[in-house]
Amino acid sequence: MATVTLSSIAKSFGPTRVLGGVDLDIADGEFLTLVGPSGCGKSTLIRIIAGLEHQDGGAVTIGGQPVDHLRPHERRVAMVFQSYALYPHMSVRQNIALPLTMSRLKLWQRLPLLRALSGQRRAVMRGIEADVAAAAAQLQLDHLLDRKPAQLSGGQRQRVALGRAMVRHPDVFLMDEPLSNLDAKLRVHMRTELAELHKRLGATFIYVTHDQVEAMTMSDRVAMMDSGTILQLGTPSQLYEKPGSLKVAQFIGSPA
Ligand code: ADP
Ligand code: MG
């Protein structure tokens, strides 16, 4: 579990300023949602927290530690993408295990010819199996571990992506529109599942969506973004009852 602080985060792509100095403090264990229209900079901001993109100015801390010098896998974060980003040639088991095999096995232990020789590798693999089984049980994927992603429904694929994020027990989950490829009915169901998962894990969730209903139903607080800045930050009821501007009111759907 960890707090996340963003101080004056600025980012441009070429001449285009995408983030104009974003300040945001996210509490330990909070479910915070970044919401706003397409192109407002949500993905860029969450990718900067993940370490997948580097800001031009400002600083990120996670759990009080500056992380700007840390690479993505060195930060205690895991990211879930809209596209799930599963490997089609790997089983569900292998997809979920991937972050663990990458971090726990030395490179030579991953080579097909050498790995049979290593007793140590077998011990590491048993540990990984146990961690994958625990994540799979949490997400009701136990019976699907030997399938390939193509043999799964959209909701099941999304759960595999969540499993892959969970196995490393990150302090912070970063989710970029994780439900937007699902049909409407499943999306509603997965909202409840995500909210329950958040409660169970007690981790900090930073969630990106352009869907105001998702933002308003799942979050402790919502940061409404527009053109690379935060227009308003508050609980869903604060945003709904006291929108700070017409733009917020229109996006949230508050009564005029
Ligand atoms: P959102 O996730 O809110 O839809 P993004 O953060 O993806 O917004 O994008 C914000 C703006 O930055 C958009 O105008 C987008 O075209 C631009 N942008 C994002 N990534 C890149 C990139 N790698 N190169 C150039 N422009 C980018
Ligand atoms: Mg985006």
Tens-digit pLDDT profile for residues 9-44: 999 999 999 999 999 999 999 999 999 999 999 999
Q: What is the mean pLDDT of residues 167-178?
A: 94
Kindly tell me if the per-residue pLDDT of 115 is higher than 80: no
Could you tell me the pTM of the whole model? 0.92
Among 44, 49, 174, which is best to mutate for testing ligand 1, by the most ligand atoms less than 8 A from CB?
Answer: 44
With a CB cutoff of 8 Å and minimum separation 6, the contacts of 249 are: 243, 256
φ/ψ (deg, to 5) at 219:
-95, 150
ipTM of the complex, rounded to two decimals: 0.98
Among 11, 13, 225, which is best to mutate for testing ligand 1, by the most ligand atoms less than 8 A from CB?
Answer: 13
Which atom, in ligand 1's list, is nearest to the CA of 14? 25
Ligand 2 center from residue 175 Cα (angstroms)? 10
> CA–CA separation, 65 vs 75, rounded Å?
10
The whole-number pLDDT of residue 1 equals 65
Which atom, in ligand 1's list, is nearest to the CA of 53? 23
User: Contact, 4 vs 173, CB < 8 A?
Assistant: no
Tens-digit pLDDT profile for residues 135-162: 999 888 999 999 999 999 988 999 999 9
